[in-house]
Amino acid sequence: MVELDVEDASRVDEMCERLLANPLVEDYEVSIIE
Amino acid sequence: VKFGVLRFPGSCDEVDALNACSRYGDAELLWHHDRHLHDVDAIVVPGGFSYGDYLRPGAIARFSPVMESVAEFARDGGPVLGICNGFQVLCEAHMLPGALIRNRSLQFQGERVWVRVEHDETAFTHAYDRDQLLHLHGREAARVGNLSGVLAIRLEVLEIRLRRHVEDHDVAALFGLAGNLGLDSPRQRFFERAEIALLIRDVGQLLLGADVIPEHIFWRRDTGALGQVVDQRRQELGLGRRLLHKCREVRIVGDHRRGRGFARLCSCNG
């Protein structure tokens, strides 16, 4: 699990696709905690 | 020929690679933060634990400034060889297809395996004969059908090792071939790729990822001063005790001479 404190949550998917996960071999799920 | 060997924070095989390359030409280290390739003719992306394998092996290294230059170098036809972690870096950088995943055992494995040359028309394998069996008692792991333009050198292993290999060790993953296998899930597809140890994007290209580490053949010949230098460097890099243990385990290695096909397979993630 990776916990991030971000101002713009809309960028989280992009962050996952580019770096945090490798979508070729990994699934990821984003939970937003206000 | 002038070789450039990349060095990332956490690399640990760059000295071995540098030493190996220097047997055949000039060689120099290229720091990951330097975009300038110093007019090298070929590039080696060495093994190790770039950026501590944080997130995934190669995931951070792909964003290093030097990788932009390496990608451009490869696009222009320059030869690039990624070994071990270097293989993972090239996959993460999308210069090679696919991704490497953890061994099923979730443990480091280092063992002797046999390789068979599937294609002898590449720059990396032209010195070998096609279908040259490197061990007569070997047996193929699960065969992949149509490789769709992606070339691979398959592993040949002794039968007893084959069982262990298939059960415990996914050597490399190759994405995009699922249609040929008729398997259901992406993960199953990867598991069927256990026999692929070296991967090259296309016959005409000069981009190779290898999960065997031929540069270590020089290590044993250079016991003494070089070994001490490498040990010292590893300690300077602050690698943990466990990591050092891993590094020492992977030394070695067999006989890389033509027609004598030992290769040492060492992998944490592939």
Q: How far is CA B243 from CA B100, B234, B247, in A?
A: 20, 9, 6
Per-residue model confidence as pLDDT tens digits over B201-236: 554 555 555 555 555 555 544 444 444 444 444 444
Q: Which of residues 15-34 of A touch B (CB under 8 A)?
A: 19-20, 22, 24-25
CB B35 within 8 A of CB B66: yes
How far does A17 lie from chain B, in Å, by closest CA?
A: 11
Separation between Cα atoms, residue B195 and residue B208, nearest integer Å: 16
* ipTM confidence: 0.73
Look at the block and give the residue holding tokens 């443990």. Answer: B107
| pLDDT tens series, chain B, 270 aa | 898 999 999 998 888 888 878 877 899 999 999 999 999 988 989 888 899 888 888 889 999 999 999 999 988 888 888 877 887 888 788 887 666 666 555 655 555 444 555 556 666 666 555 554 433 222 222 223 322 223 333 333 222 222 223 333 333 222 222 222 223 333 333 333 333 445 555 545 555 555 555 555 555 444 444 444 444 444 444 433 333 333 333 322 323 333 233 333 444 433
* H-helix segments, chain B: 14-22, 65-75, 85-92, 159-168, 178-181, 186-191, 217-221, 225-236, 241-249
**B99·A25 Cβ contact <8 A:** yes
Q: Which of residues 181-210 of B touch A (CB under 8 A)?
A: 186-187, 190
Q: What is the CA radius of gyration of chain A?
A: 10
**A25·B187 Cβ contact <8 A:** yes
CB B149 within 8 A of CB B202: yes
